Amino acid sequence: MRRLILASASPRRRELLAQAGYTFEVQPAHVNEDLYADEDPIAYVVRLARDKAQAMYNALNDPQATVLGADTTVTLDGHILAKPEDAADAARMLRLLSGRTHRVITGVALATAAGTEVAAEVTGVQFLTISDEEIAAYIATGEPMDKAGAYGIQGLAAKWIPRIQGCYFNVVGLPLALVATMLESSD
């Protein structure tokens, strides 16, 4: 029987995998997440997902293990909006997103005894125009501080998102249909 390991500390990824009915262990992998010079956003998240999955797979030394690594980022005009460093950085990001459509990209990797498979999911997210007062009130809740792009679609920011194009779960942090397809093909 396969042993599924989630190589992520993200509570959202944990909730999504459980919601989809998977039994798994959580063992976060710690890898360098620095962006390489001129690295494309898709290449960046796929590299981090691969690094996390492979690092944890190698540490486990268990040929029955399947390790799931993932990394999500927000991009606007080709620029990555990572997790905000502080409240001012969160406000800067939210002002950039206001009234615009951006992309959320998640890299996914599955490491097994047969090797490592990688993929990426891209979702377009439209934001309404939001005021500086709304931004300040949102930041005061603390919700944006641990999220790429300084917002969570599943939280208070939902009221500013009239539509998305693509996978909702990708925006939360784990594209479930993609992960399920990868897990089924790895059996």
Catalytic residues, by residue number, are 71
Q: Measure the CA–CA gap between 167 and 132, rounded to whole angstroms.
A: 29
Helix (H, G, I), strand (E, B) or coil at 40: coil
Task: Give the helix ranges, DSSP H, for 2-101.
Answer: 11-19, 41-60, 87-97
Helix (H, G, I), strand (E, B) or coil at 46: helix
Distance of CA 100 to the CA centre of its chain: 20
Crossing angle of the two packed helices 87-97 and 132-140, in degrees rounded to 10: 140
